Structure formats: structure tokens, C-alpha cells
Amino acid sequence: MMIRYKTILVTGGAGFIGSNLCEALLAKDNKVICLDNFSIGKRENIDGFLNHPDFSLIEGDIRNLADCRNAVKGVDFVLHQAALGSVPRSIADPIATNSVNVTGFLNMLVAAKDAGAKRFVYACSSSTYGDSTVMPKREDVIGKPLSPYAVTKYVNELYADVFHKTYGFNTIGLRYFNVFGKRQDPNGPYAAVIPKFITQLMKYEAPVINGDGEHSRDFTYVANVVQANLLALTCEQESLNTIYNIAYGGRITLNELVRHLKNQLADYDAAIANIGVIHGSNRLGDIPHSFASIEKAKRNLHYEPAYTVEAGLKQTVEWYWQQQSKLVEAGKGVL
């Protein structure tokens, strides 16, 4: 994890995971270049870095090869986080999802290879497991994709494999499982469930659970994901050019998740403990259960998730409560 004094490009660096990566890399004395078009990323996520002498922002789009080539000049490593996430978004607009996640990914691969980057670490997705019922999920056993988003993330893995075999370019794919934490956007139609539930509960609104709430997820705190990315930059040569599950290695149901959130938020406002829940219909394209085997990442990357789900939720709830308190104090309403 002692990646220091390197020049690292973080695509999507103004996004949720990207901004957490930028923060961690700067703390280890690296030069960080952030490439973002701010279609999803937010400037406030990187406000704290803009005056840092080792941080550079390039406003550009990975769908533009020239922007990619400009961003990779002189970099040692690339952490590719830029993507259009969300299964429902991909169902509503598969063309946009494909354009960013496939064309943009290929542009970044080409630009990084041509620039001589030593490693290309990219965000994969647990959605790649599709309709596979094998539990826990192992990297070598996947099913058929259930959404356009899942298709695009699997195509990324195929392209990375071909670039290694054809050009000798070194890559690592990290299959993220339901990442959550500070700076995750709670708003909009494609908001992730944890920040959405937290902000709804803080406003005394009943969270809406898709289905009966017994779908389960291997929720993964963002600090664990940051750890995995740093390890991927420093691992041995024999651990490159493959895929790793990055998760906590357990699972809880959505009903259990809401109970955890209500209990933790009740420490700040006791009334939240009494808020009910609304159950809606199942969401098209959703995987019923996700539960990762992280043995490969432990063995090859020496990955050891430092945060349990409960510990990560505690940190996350505290962060959102502080953000809301700041807005209220400033007279700007709520999140």
C-alpha cells in the first residue's frame, strides 16, 4: 500500500469512489491527475484538493480520445473509475451507457498503452455475475448479464484481457460489490440505496424497498475499495492481468440494512427509529443476491477489508449527518 511519489491518473476523479481515491493518493505524496466531465462527478467532491500542489484537474470526456491522450501524458499508473453506473439507467438509455462504458473504456486503454503507463487498474462490477446462482460469487464462474450495464462491464474485462495478450499491457480489474460511503450522491433517479435511505430517514420519509426486502447484498465500505486499488498498484507481477472481487465477503438483506440505518441515525435523532418502510415492486435487471468470495484478492493482493458493514455504515451515517447539519446551519435546507 506504500505507493508514493508516483504520477497517477484517476478517471472519474470527481465522482464518489474517484474522489476518495484522489484523497488517499494525495495523502501518500503522489501527484494526482483527475479527469472528469462532471456529468456525474461533482466539483464539491474535489474542492478540498484544488489548491493542493500535487493535484491537477483536466475537464474532459473519455469518449474523446484526444482528451484521454492528454490526460495520460507522463503518468505512471491509471485508476479508471469513470463510467455511467446504474442498472436502471442502462435499461433506460443503453446507448449512452455503452458509449461511456465501452467506447470510453477502449479509448482509455489505447491512450494509456500508447503513453507507456505501467499499470491500468479499472473498476469492474458484481453485475457481471448476472443470472449465476453460485454462492459465494467466484471470479471464474459468471452467468449471463441481466442488464445493458452488466454487458458493458463484462466487455471491459474482455478488452483488458485482449490488450494484455495482444500488446503485453498490464491491467487489473476490480469487481466492486455495492460500494457505499462519504460523497456518494443521495439524489436523482439512479441514486444508490444507502445514501438514498439515509437522506430519506433524516427527512422523516419512509424509505422504499424494491420487493420484500429479502434481496441481499455484499455491501462494501469505500475505504476497503480504496485499499484494494492501492494494493493493485503495488502487487507483484504475477498478480496482474486478472480480475478480483472487492467486497467485504458477507451479506445482509435490505430489511436488515434499513434496521441498521434507523438504529444508527436514532443516536442523532430518536424519532427516526419509528419511521416505517414502504415495499415496492422488484426492480428490473436486479441480481437477487450478491455475496463475494474474496479469497483470491486476499491471496494475491493481500487485501484485508478493514471495515465491516456495520463500521462502514457508522462512518457513513456520521458523514451525512454532518453534511446535513452544515446545510441547515447555513440556511440551505437539507440534503
Question: What is the CB-side half-sphere exposure of residue 266 using CA atoms within 13 A?
Answer: 12
Q: Which three cell numbers, joined as nine digits, stand for 73?
A: 501524458
Given a contact cutoff of 8 angstroms between Cβ atoms, the answer to whether 137 and 101 are in contact is: no
Asked if residue 136 has a cis previous peptide bond (ω within 30° of 0), the answer is yes
Q: Which three cell numbers, joined as nine digits, stand for 22?
A: 484522489
Active site (catalytic) residues? 149
Q: Left (φ > 0), alpha (ψ -120 to 50) or beta: where does 112 sit?
A: alpha
> Positive or negative CA dihedral for 146, 182, 50, 176?
negative
Q: In angstroms, rounded to a whole number, what is the distance separating the alpha carbons of residues 155 and 225?
A: 21
Q: Which residue has the cell 446535513?
A: 324
Confidence band for 35, pLDDT divided at 50, 70 and 90: very high
Parallel, antiparallel, or unpaired: how do β-strands 179-180 and 55-59 relate?
Answer: unpaired
Q: What is the pLDDT of residues 59-101, one digit of tens each?
A: 999 999 999 999 999 999 999 999 998 888 999 999 999 999 9
Q: In angstroms, rounded to a whole number, what is the distance separating the alpha carbons of residues 274 and 290?
A: 29
Tell me the angle at which helices 222-234 and 309-329 cross, rounded to the nearest 10 degrees: 120
Confidence band for 211, pLDDT divided at 50, 70 and 90: confident
Q: In angstroms, rounded to a whole number, what is the distance separating the alpha carbons of residues 36 and 81?
A: 10
Q: In angstroms, rounded to a whole number, what is the distance separating the alpha carbons of residues 40 and 14?
A: 8
Report the CATH architecture of 7-181+222-249+292-307. 3-Layer(aba) Sandwich (3.40)
pTM: 0.94
Comparing 7-11, 102-106, 128-132, the range with the smallest average pLDDT is 128-132
